[in-house]
Structure formats: structure tokens, C-alpha cells
Amino acid sequence: MQLPNSMANMTRLRHLNITGCLQLARMPSYIDKLHELQTLSIYVVEETPGRSISQLERLDLHGELKIKYLSRLYDPGQARLARFWDKVNLELLGLYWREIDDESVTESDVASLLKKERPSSSNSSEQHEQDAAVAEVISALQPHYNLKRFLLRDYPGTKFPAWIGDLHSLVVVDLRQCNRCQLLPTLGKLSSLRILTLRGMNGVRRIGKEFYDEDEEWSSTFFQSLKELALIDFPSLEEWSSPDGQDAFPMMSKLIINRCPNLQAMPFFESLQHLELRECSAAILNSFEISTSISVFIIEKVSGLLSLSGELLAHRSNLTSLEIISCRELQSLPSELGNLTALKSLTIRWCENLSSLPQDLKNLTALESLEIGDCYSLTALSKDQIRGLSSLRILSIENCTNLSSLPKSLHYLASLEHLTLMFCPSLDSLPEDLQHLPALHSLTIISCPKFSRLPQGLQHVKMLHRLEIRSCPGLIALPEHVENLTSLRSLAISDCPNLKCLPDGLNLLTALQHLSIQHCPELEEQFAQKGGEDWPKIAGIPHKHIGSPISRQSSGDSSSNTCFGLQFKKFLKMLKK
């Protein structure tokens, strides 16, 4: 892909926005003739004479510029001629040693591509010369001090350019796949820096003094404005220290640590509000002191984690969201979980050895959402665990294969609006007294093969708007009392092959707008044609979808593929494990 030659005549062109044109393979030779050009979002480096990066010399570029295939640039003299240091209006500069943000390329593909673009040296002196050339090139690409955002991808050098630490207007820095660098750049003095993403640093074993300041003596202030920091894919990182134990990140509110399996120690972050620890070792949880100001805490794929310590959750009066995901060795949760009095959302997924939840769960009176999924060892929720959840609005239980029942104390959940039960093969029924759930708006039951009946109390849930039952072969009939669900707006039934009829009073549900029946052979046969004996039951429903999406011809609602979508969602979840 290339730009048309006819553009050479557009000498007064100011804005050429080619953002997203990732297939652009070369730049036209006339780019340097467009003297008034201010916007040029992508530039492709070539080795062809006349298409050197020096084409940018006289262009007063504004806004965003991403340069790809810098692996083709060997001459630092050409880089200097581009005069990036003089482009005062450039706000974002992205330096890419290969393609731009090709998310479809895997890490192994990246390694392969880098080998092709930068062949291994036959001896150390040749490698040293190549490293020196790369260092000179990136040094010559130094931008103006007004730069606000800097992106660096697949940089093959061994050291970051010193000028990064001098760009005091930088607000965002994003460095990725700089695998040969052993030390992070000095960024601590960038007083405007707010968002910092560091990803794919295979060579970094420690983070220390060099990250904050290169002076011999520790300075008093670092990272004055930094709010968000992400460390991702640091397989060799073992230690992260701060200067003399002080808080070097006084404003930081969000920290993401992902795929740092050998990290044993981290600094203390006093103002931290959002913390994500993903694919790390349990050692980091035992050694890391978490701020009392934290409000969001995500723990995912922490290896060797048998139990959470009570100290980890103690004194977390500001914690509003807790996610524990894919901790396969986790066996128990501490009673201190009940001390999280501000907690509004609790998610526990893919913790297959977790057999029970703490009794003090009942103390979470502020909890609004509880999601439990893929906890195969969980057999029951006790009545005392949930009766105190007076603020709970969402309860979702998925793929808990040994969960056989829900406690009768379910009726204490007076604020419950959405109840979802999915892939629970041992669950055969719901508690009878659902009439005490006055706020229940939606009930979803999917892939519960033993589920055989709806409870009597459901008829008194006057606020129920949506009822969905799918893949429940044990269901033989819908009770007649369904006619009392006067607020029901949507009824979806699929993959219930033993369901033979619908209740006679279905036509009394004047609020019912959508009816979907799929993969229920006997029901589909009854309602296949208008005018049949049972047709009056559904005649007044405005939107009816009878039969599978493939076989029926009627135009339908978007829920027709819901069952397939749910199965696909399930498949994706299994892949994540």
C-alpha cells in the first residue's frame, strides 16, 4: 500500500491523517515538497535513496507522528537531518523498530522478526559496533522538550537514550519489547509524567537507583505527578526498591504488575487506590505492604497461593472491589474478608480448590455484586453466609459443578435485582420462598440439567422483567402461576427438549414484549403456524421468535444467538485457564 503520486501537486496540503493505515509500505518521494504539511501521523523508514527520514527536515509537524521500521535506519546523520529536536509542535512521537501495534503478532513472532531484521553477529566486536550504531541513531532522534507522549517499541539497543529523562513535558511514556536493556531509563525527575507503561523487559533484573535519578545522592522528590504505572512481562525481575525506603510515588493511584513471576519485593505506595497483581508468585503478596487507601484489588494467577493472609485484608476500610481469579491452589479465604465493610463487588473465579467461603461473608453489608465461577470444590453456600448481604443487587454463580443447592436464606436478599445460575449440573431447584425478593428484575438459569421446576414463590415477584431458561432438559413444564408475573417483558426458552407446553395464562401477561423459543421440539411444533390450537397463548406478544435461528425465517431480536454466544463465552473462559 502506498500514497497516490497525484498528491505531489497538493503543495498547500496541511493535514494528511493516515492513522490506522498499518499496511502503508513506503512513503512517496514528494513528502518533503509538501512544505505546509503539519499533520503526518505515520512515516515509513526506507533504505531507498530519496526516501530517507531526512525528508522530514523542513516540515513543521504538529500533533502525532509514529515512525515504523527504524531497523532500516543505519545512518545517525540522516536521523539528525530530520531535526526532531526542532519540532516544537510535535506532541506525540512513536519510534517503532518494526511494525506499528500489530496485536495479532505473538511474542514468538516478534523474536523471529527481530532475528530476521537484525542477524546475530559472528563476533562480539561486530555486535558492539551494531549496538553503538543503534545508540547513535536513537540519540540523533531526540525530540523537542515540548513532547507530551513518547512511545518506543522493539528497541534493539542495550541502553535507553539519556534524553528521555530530560523531556520534562512528558505526560505519557510507553516502552515495550526493549528486551536487551538491563536497566530502566531515568524517569524519576519527569515532573509532568502521569502514565507510565513498561512492557517486555526480559533483561531487567532489578529496579533501583537508576530509575529515579542518576545523581550520587538520593533526591528528595521523584515521580511527582505519576498516577498510573504498569510493569508487564518482566520475567527476570527480582527486586524493586525505592530510595531509602521512602515513597517515591506520592501521587500514584493505579499499579499493574503482570507476568513478573520472580519479583520478590516492591516499594510501598501510600496513595495507591487500584492494584492488580497478575501472574506473579505468592511471595510478592507476603512481602508487599498494601496501602490502606486501596479501593480496587485484583489478584490473578498467583502461583503457590494456598491461602490469603488475614493481614492482607485487614484494615482495608476503603476497599470497594476485590477480584480473586485463576488461583488454582487457593484453598481458603480468611475470616478478615468480613471486615471489608466498604466492599461493593466481590468476584471469585477459577479457584478450583476453594471448597468454602468464610462465614464472616455475612458482614459485607455494603456488597452489591457477588460473582462466583468455576469453583469446582464449592458444594454449598450456608444460610449464615449470605443472610446479611442486605445491599446485594447481583448474584451470579457459574460452573460450580458440585453446588447442589442455594440456601433458604436467599430470601433475605431484599435488594437482589439479578440472579444468574449457569453450568451448575448438580443444582436441581431454587428455594421456594422467592416472594421475599421484591426487587428481582431478571432470573437466568442456563445449563443446569437437573433443574426441574420454578418455585412457587416466584409468582409473587412482581418486579420480574426478564426470565431466561436455557439448556435445562430436566424442565418438563412452566407452572401456571407464571401468569402472575405481570411485569414480565422478556421470556426466553431454549434447549429444553422435555418442555411440552406453555401455561394457558401466558396471554394475560400484557407487559410481555419478547418471546423466544429455540431447540424445544414440541413447543416449536405447537407454535410453528398461526391459527393453531395453542396460538392464542402467544398471539398478543409483539416480538415472537419460534425455532432455531437457522430454520426460522422470521426477522428476530438480537437474543436469537444468545445460547451460542454463551457457549462461546464459556469456551473463551476455559481458554483463559
Continuous segment of H or E residues that includes residue 109: helix 107-117
- Helix boundaries (H) for 377-463: 383-386
Residue that the C-alpha cell 511474542 belongs to? 107
Instruction: Give the structural domain span for 36.
Output: 5-140
Count each helix (H run) and each strand (E run) in the chain, helices first.
9, 24
Which three three-digit cell numbers place residue 577?
Answer: 485457564
Q: Which one, of 481, 441, 439, 478, lies nearest residue 459 by Cα?
A: 481
How far is 60 from 244, CA to CA, in rounded Å?
A: 45
Query: What pLDDT is attached to residue 217?
Result: 53
Residue 58 lies in a domain: yes
DSSP helix, strand, coil percent of the chain (3-state; round to 5): 25, 20, 55
- Distance separating alpha carbons of residues 268 and 494, to the nearest angstrom: 52
Beta-carbon contacts of 485 under 8 Å, excluding residues fewer than 6 positions away, are: 458, 459, 461, 462, 464, 467, 509
For residue 63, the surrounding DSSP H or E stretch is strand 63-68
- Residue 36 inside a domain? The answer is yes
Contact 385, 359 (CB under 8 A): yes
pTM confidence score: 0.85
Establish if 448 belongs to a structural domain: no
The residue among 152, 189, 196 whose CA lies nearest residue 167 is 189
Grid cell 496540503 in the structure block, residue: 13
Residue 298's Cα: distance from chain center in Å? 11
Q: In whole angstroms, give the CA distance from residue 79 to residue 40.
A: 17
Q: For 44, phi and psi rounded to 5 degrees?
A: -105, 120
User: Is 406 within the bounds of a domain?
Assistant: no
Which cell is 97 given?
523498530
pLDDT tens-place values along the chain, 577 residues long:
777 676 766 777 788 787 777 777 777 777 777 787 888 888 888 876 656 788 888 889 999 999 999 998 888 888 999 899 999 999 999 999 988 764 433 444 434 433 434 444 457 778 888 888 899 999 999 999 999 999 999 999 999 999 999 999 999 999 999 999 999 999 999 999 999 999 999 999 999 989 997 564 555 689 999 999 999 999 999 999 888 767 889 999 999 999 999 999 898 898 999 999 999 999 888 777 888 899 999 999 998 999 888 888 888 889 999 999 999 999 999 999 999 999 999 999 999 999 989 989 999 999 999 999 999 999 888 777 888 899 999 999 999 999 988 888 888 899 999 999 999 999 988 888 888 888 999 999 999 999 998 988 898 898 999 999 999 999 998 989 999 999 999 999 999 999 988 998 898 999 999 999 999 998 888 887 777 788 889 999 999 999 875 444 443 443 334 444 444 444 445 444 4
**Residue 214 domain-assigned (yes or no):** no
pLDDT at 54: 86
- How many domains does the structure of the chain reveal? 1
Q: Kindly state whether residue 277 falls inside one of the protein's structural domains.
A: no
Residue 396 lies in a domain: no
Whether residue 68 is contained in a domain is answered as yes
Instruction: Give the three-state DSSP class for 544.
Output: strand
Q: Which of 222, 90, 203 shows the shortest CA–CA distance to 157? A: 203
Q: Rounding to the nearest 10 degrees, give the CA dihedral for residues 422, 557, 499, 406.
A: 20
| DSSP-assigned beta bridge partners for residue 196 | 173, 229
Identify whether the C-beta of residue 193 lies closer than 8 Å to the C-beta of residue 185. no
| Nearest CA among 237, 350, 331 for reference residue 283 | 237
